[in-house]
Structure 1
Amino acid sequence: MSSSMRNSRENWNEWPVFSRESSKAAAVDEQVMTGADNSEKIEPDTAIKNDASSQEKIYPSGCKFLLITLGIMAAVLVVALDNYIISTAIPRLATDFKSINLTGWYSSFYFLTIMAFQPAHGQTFTFFSVKWELLISILWLEVGSIISAVAPNSIAFIFGRLICGAAAGGIWCGTLTLVTNVVPPAKRYLYVPLVTSMYGVSSAAGPLLGGLFTDSKLTWRFCFWLNLPISFVAFLLIVFFLEPPELSELGKSLTIKQKIIRIDFLGTLLLIAAFTCFFSQLNGVAPHTRGLIPSSLHLSPGSASRPRDNSHSGIAKLHSLTVPSLSTFHLYGHSDTDLIICLSTFSPYLGIPRLHQEFSPYVMTLLLSPMASGAYITTYGHYIPIMYIGACLAVVGSGMLSTLTITSSQAQYVGYQVIVALGAGTVQQIAFTAVPLALPPADVATASALVSFCNSLGPVVALIAGNILFTNLFGSKLAEIPGLSGKITGSEIKGLVDIGTLVTAQYVAGVK
């Protein structure tokens, strides 16, 4: 047996049996995760002190706690619904706007701006009131939703998605930061899955609602008008019932001008520009774009080279941020891509009712598995085994999903989805609860922003890559069908809904 395997088994055996002190368990898990020696060990006593100081806070209770929770859940629901409701509307969008080569941007640009604005949101939540920054983000999301709803073309629609994504980044980071002020540490492993279960609800209801709206007189535009009443409810509940959390010491000591100077707006813009150049080149959005990839390589270091505020440099030394951030990058990337690509690909051929029936196991498993893993972690105090098992299941299940066709059996549809959703769902929320427990309250906003950054970066990369692969493969396969002259490129395919018009009737089944 190798020394690394022996050390792994020794670390596994060193995990203590059930402990209600979840902060202590999280500290031990952090040591296991990083393989740190005794000199680098995070002392459990330190974590317990942080936990004890948290217990001195007065947390909301009763009806007030319920209304605050409903407000936070409504805010998360809007962010999640804005993600999933578009999946079954993408074929109609591609047809109406006559630009299938831009369909990858409809979802990925939303994730791109969520990702790019996370560092800036983390800084604003450190310097300013979390409550009021969250409320401003909700208002901006309503503005972006209105622009998307009235968009006359793809460019205007993508611009609306950009604003929605920037606002959604603030909502997501803000709600995660507020968790530390709403519930004590011992209950967070159950509370966070409860709040983020809105992602499961949205992944279940979103595609169905999107398909129903798209096929009705309301059209796909109502998918974005729907955001307005939900976000309005979230705004009212938060503004009236949530007490503004106390500002950090750094936030109290700086003037407004000093705070604004320390927010890295330039890095955010450079990050968006770098990814836009890179993916525009890969996606072939515009002709004569050979210089975009070199441009993106020049812009990317610029987004990280600006002098930063060193007041929170201590959190960079915590190894606990590395693995949770990487796990959210990979798992959110492939789970969101699995669902969105499958729904947008199969919806024109299966129809909305059958599509909802075929993919409901994925959604239900993704909804329930975070709660199950949260209950396990609350009981036994450790999240490392769940992360290992969940990651393995997600990888295997995702590979199985790639073999699905419209002729696959019901057992294949259900079985493959349950495997990948069980793996992804059990791990998805762990980082957002494990990281705050290992950090002092002053660093929670910055750390949550870092994890959220990786959480949003995964879908950005995966959705664009998946769309490029799908468009190129689809075009090359169509070119092999008799009756189609020449090679069909992604830019020549105008829409998925009316794809059957490209070929004669006898070949439509083959295209499907």
Structure 2
Amino acid sequence: MASEPSKLDIQLRDEVKETDLSSRMSTTTEEAGEKQLEPPANDTSPSPEGPQEGDALSDYLTGYKLLTLLCSVGLIFFVLLLDNSIISTAVPKITSEFHSLPDVGWYAGAYQLASSVLQPLTGKLYTYFPTKWTFLCFFFVFEVGSLLCAVATSSPFFIVGRLVAGLGVSGLQNGSLTIVAGAVPLEKRAFYLGLVIGAGQLGLVIGPLIGGLFTQYVTWRWCFYINLPIGAVAGVLLALLRCPEQVVKAPFSLALVRRVIPQLDIFGFILFAPAAILLLLALQFGSGNTYAWDSSVIIGLFVGAGVSAILFLLWEWKAGDVAIIPFSMVKNRIVWASCLQYVALISSVFVGTQYLPIYFQAVKGVGPVLSGVYLLPSILSQIIFVLGSGALITKIGYYLPFAVLAGIGATIGSALISTWGPHTSTGMWIGYQVIYGIRGCGIQLAVVAIQNALPAKQSQLGVSFLVFCQTFSAAVFVVVGNTIFTQSLINGTIKQVPSISPADVLRAGGSADAIRSLVPPGSPELAALLRVFSTSFDTVCYLMIALASISVLASFGMGWVDTRKKPQEKPEAIAEA
């Protein structure tokens, strides 16, 4: 009898390696479900699943090594989102040089298709293969795509470059977050992830400004050449650093590749790819006015996407924990609530980033460069709130209040911005953007919540699923915003400026000079036309308000969790209990 407790303790310590030792009995009950995801540690048979949990979970960086890693990853994250937005001001020049206005939709569409389709599979790759070298492989593909775009001699050549860049991007955002998560403990991740995400958001906002400068004063090709030197510096720094893993991984070898391939859920990916491609094609063709929304082509694409999605979901349910999107992970309340909070908040930001410059250029009459400057109150306040909330969470441990505050700030800020008109004062548009910047409190918190809720072995899959949801939803809601803006512009033009054709207004785009050239100088119709653009912008703001409100509601499901490091009892004390 005396030997039984000792044997039970040994078994518990083997099976529940990552849990709170002070609550042995409750943890054992919870782990019963988790053991479906990972085999017992005392199973001596060779496992085909590759990485296992081990000592690397607490192998963190400090000092100059951590600073260097953050700088390199932050630079790459900056380049990633810079590339996403810098093209907006270069597109008119590119289409003029290549005589390819009908292809303009594919400049962004090819990029989104490639990055969205491959996204779920990247989580599996980061789970089994070394994080740093997997990340650098994706970054190399992205750099090759940037080079192809920079040297393109035709529109098809340029589209191929965007496609290649999108393939590289598919593994960069979640890879960046995974690298930072492995380098710092959980209680400090909110702050350091905020630094990296803040750098990326800076690139997203100043992209149109830099793109305008290059296009106007140098050449549009530098919008892509700029990725090469910045990327080279960041890539070399990262290659020379040691990047701690969250789990122990087997050394890379052909035997590892053969063992991992069955775990990648290739068949699930084959089913997922057409669903994503067909849906994005339907959105691309519909928003670009290539086909009418009620045409047989668009309807057929939506139906094909729906059927493929159903087949994919059935297969994922059958595949269980080997699936690229395991249902056992997604049904976790903290996981799906965090994804919903992140998707809603970031989609609101993406929609705002696209239409705020249109307001400043079309309504206020400034150029591309100055419109980028006018966005600084929003991005600077966001960065301040990102860093401030990260520092406070490190001290108090609870992230939920900041997620709620971010959603409330974004909702109120969007509502105030929706009141802008042609005569809004400088103080108002600066002040309202500062309030809108409160959204920065919650931008990084979904990553922290998911990594805290999932076992270390599923952490990469969780982050990959989060980034996929964000990427895919942002593409969808940008199209929704474009449809709302376009329809409002057409209806407003017909009612308020009947002498101008709505088609001419749409062809003019959003630049100040093009819009003002639609009416004779000094014409009273100019004021009416500017009101139409202002009202259309306000209508898009209602979408931003709705998305931000959803993020508030989703925040309450992210869990009241203290992420601070808890003292652990010694194993001897547990054995005596």
Render the CA deviation track for 1:161-184: whole Å, top value 9, x for unaligned: 333233122111112112232122
Q: Does 1:295 align with 2:322?
A: no
Change (3 A) 1:58 1:387: closer
1:74–1:234 Cα contact (<8 Å) kept: yes
Cα deviation for residue 139 of structure 1 reads 0.9
Letter in 2 for 1:463: V
Letter in 2 for 1:395: T
For residues 80-119 of structure 1, what are the structure 2 equivalents within 5 Å? 80-90=81-91, 92=93, 106-107=107-108, 110-111=111-112, 113-119=114-120
Distance between the aligned counterparts of 2:188 and 2:301, measured in 1? 48
Distance between the aligned counterparts of 2:289 and 2:342, measured in 1? 29
1:111–1:459 Cα contact (<8 Å) kept: no
What residue is the counterpart of 1:329 in the other structure?
A: 343
Change (3 A) 1:225 1:240: same
Secondary structure of the corresponding residue to residue 290 of structure 2: coil
What residue is the counterpart of 2:386 in the other structure?
A: 370
Distance between the aligned counterparts of 1:78 and 1:225, measured in 2? 11
Distance between the aligned counterparts of 2:251 and 2:68, measured in 1? 30
TM-score, L = length of structure 2: 0.71
What residue is the counterpart of 1:418 in the other structure?
A: 434
What residue is the counterpart of 1:48 in the other structure?
A: none
Change (3 A) 1:440 1:462: same
Change (3 A) 1:69 1:499: same
Cα deviation for residue 407 of structure 1 reads 2.6
1:87–1:343 Cα contact (<8 Å) kept: no
Change (3 A) 1:367 1:161: farther
Distance between the aligned counterparts of 1:42 and 1:391, measured in 2? 33
Render the CA deviation track for 1:194-230: whole Å, top value 9, x for unaligned: 22221233145323212211221x2332111111111
Distance between the aligned counterparts of 2:55 and 2:409, measured in 1? 35
2:361–2:368 Cα contact (<8 Å) kept: yes
Letter in 2 for 1:119: P
Q: Does 1:310 align with 2:321?
A: yes
2:69–2:238 Cα contact (<8 Å) kept: yes
Higher mean displacement: 324-333 or 298-307: 298-307
Cα deviation for residue 63 of structure 1 reads 3.2
Change (3 A) 1:56 1:270: closer
Change (3 A) 1:54 1:179: farther
Distance between the aligned counterparts of 1:179 and 1:281, measured in 2? 38
What residue is the counterpart of 1:49 in the other structure?
A: none
Secondary structure of the corresponding residue to residue 443 of structure 1: helix
Cα deviation for residue 154 of structure 1 reads 5.9
Cα deviation for residue 241 of structure 1 reads 1.6
Distance between the aligned counterparts of 1:165 and 1:267, measured in 2? 20
Change (3 A) 1:434 1:372: same
Cα deviation for residue 431 of structure 1 reads 0.9
Q: CA RMSD in A?
A: 3.7
TM-score, L = length of structure 1: 0.80
1:99–1:493 Cα contact (<8 Å) kept: no
Change (3 A) 1:285 1:267: farther
1:143–1:163 Cα contact (<8 Å) kept: yes
Higher mean displacement: 317-326 or 56-65: 56-65
Secondary structure of the corresponding residue to residue 114 of structure 1: helix
Render the CA deviation track for 1:394-413: whole Å, top value 9, x for unaligned: 12322332332343111221
Structure of greater relative contact order (alpha carbons < 8 Å, 6+ residues apart): 1
What residue is the counterpart of 1:275 in the other structure?
A: 279
Change (3 A) 1:369 1:96: farther
Change (3 A) 1:479 1:250: farther
Q: Percent identity?
A: 27
Any stretches of 5+ residues in structure 2 without a counterpart? 1-18, 33-52, 531-577
For residues 451-470 of structure 1, what are the structure 2 equivalents within 5 Å? 451-470=466-485
2:282–2:302 Cα contact (<8 Å) kept: yes
